[in-house]
A and B are shown apart, each in its own frame.
Chain A
């Protein structure tokens, strides 16, 4: 069954003008790379989102010191190239090997995948934090006052009144950030992670066949367009109560 399916894919591939033999040789690696890419993006965007929630709220509600700290974090990660950040963590960690060994974290920082995942997480947390900050600020002040009048505590107010509205507001930019992260994840290939681009570069270095880069382009385009369209549908559905009813 699987062999038949594989054969069918190769036939279609050949009919499209692509090299079926090249596909048979390097295709599986690129598919593995796709899983690596998806894993990286899923982990960093999810953990980044969990970090962004308190970050975004602190940017609005925090005291002078908290706000200054959060703002520096956000400015650093949004104002510098992701590639430089990846280098800073991946190569920089080696300098602190003894200290990291002492706390048992060297195993994490020795691994390129983890270094990249950590950097991506912090980077996207900074961007998502700004989106959440904007969302929180867009919620009318009366909402918080009304919640207070009803006797809700500050934390409850945020969880049940402000954040749901802030997130509805931020849904579209969060989708854009997800797409940007999928594209940016290709930077992982620079530090030896075999994501889609990493596997493609490997295939190119072996075969010298430029076609493999076109595969990668196709994969990223399909991935990005799919995510963009599905997210738009979800966004429309999640915010349908905010639109005037259609006649």
Chain B
């Protein structure tokens, strides 16, 4: 047993530092995906909320495709397909590194799921809110920032934090295209030590810790977004 924990030590004899580096890559990947995913999600939500039929159809098509494709397949398609696409369009040969491919693929998926959450949130804010903001003389931009967005955010947070948890777990799939995330680093440790059960269990516990941390942060954000709102019941 002590042998096993020795394997987790930092330094040349142990794999602790390698796993820690993997955790950093996993967190970085998820955090880098978040802005892209949210921007895509908001854009697609606005498309689906648009008046034009074509815009709505495009929004629905995007959601159907990236919600329906297996995340692993999306990652492979982006990793192998994007260089071909770029070569076909511009004639330039580019190498896309696995981190960028991971961010793009996971961002596309995050965008599809978060657009549903954001669409529901946009619709949950009554029209009267932006109308009264306009009546008070606020510009459209200020009305969105000060009046609509705080209410939209409150409704969207629980759904977004679920989507984030899914994203956090999906980052493990990027190990398949050789990005040195937590799962990949664990694979390396297993290959060297022949202790698969122990190391994959440790990796699972690390993912659990990341999920737990995320949930705790989401709770605080939700409590903050809820200030000034009297909930029914309880």
Interface residues of A (CB under 8 A from B): 75-76, 79-85, 87-88, 91-96, 179, 182-187, 189-190, 197, 201, 204, 210, 213-214, 216-217, 220-221, 224-225
Q: A79-B212, A95-B195, A225-B64 are in contact. Are A84 and B204 (CB under 8 A)?
A: yes
Dominant SS at the A interface? Answer: helix
Chain B residue with minimal CB distance to A92? B197
Please state if B196 and A221 are interface contacts (CB–CB under 8 Å): no
Residues of B within 8 A of A179 (CB): 68
Q: Please, how many angstroms separate the alpha-carbon atoms of A27 and B208 in the complex?
A: 40
Number of A-B contacts (CB under 8 A): 104
Question: What are 19 A-B pairs with beta-carbon distances under 8 A?
Answer: A80-B208, A81-B170, A82-B169, A84-B203, A84-B204, A87-B187, A87-B200, A91-B200, A92-B200, A183-B71, A186-B72, A187-B173, A189-B72, A190-B72, A197-B72, A197-B73, A204-B80, A213-B80, A220-B73
Please state if B183 and A84 are interface contacts (CB–CB under 8 Å): yes
Chain B residue with minimal CB distance to A227? B68
Q: Please, how many angstroms separate the alpha-carbon atoms of A204 and B183 in the complex?
A: 24
Chain A residue with minimal CB distance to B68? A224
Closest Cβ of chain A to B72, distance in Å, is 5
**Contact residues, B51-69 vs A (CB, 8 A):** 64-65, 68-69
Q: Please, how many angstroms separate the alpha-carbon atoms of A79 and B207 in the complex?
A: 7
Residues of A within 8 A of B170 (CB): 81
Residues of A within 8 A of B32 (CB): none
Residues of B within 8 A of A96 (CB): 197
Interface residue from A75, A83, A183, A197 paired with B208 (Cβ < 8 Å): A75
Residues of A within 8 A of B73 (CB): 186, 197, 213, 216-217, 220
Q: Please, how many angstroms separate the alpha-carbon atoms of A106 and B129 in the complex?
A: 64
B228 within 8 A of A: no
Residues of A within 8 A of B69 (CB): 183, 217, 220-221
Q: A210-B80, A210-B81 are in contact. Are A88 and B70 (CB under 8 A)?
A: no
Chain B residue with minimal CB distance to A186? B70
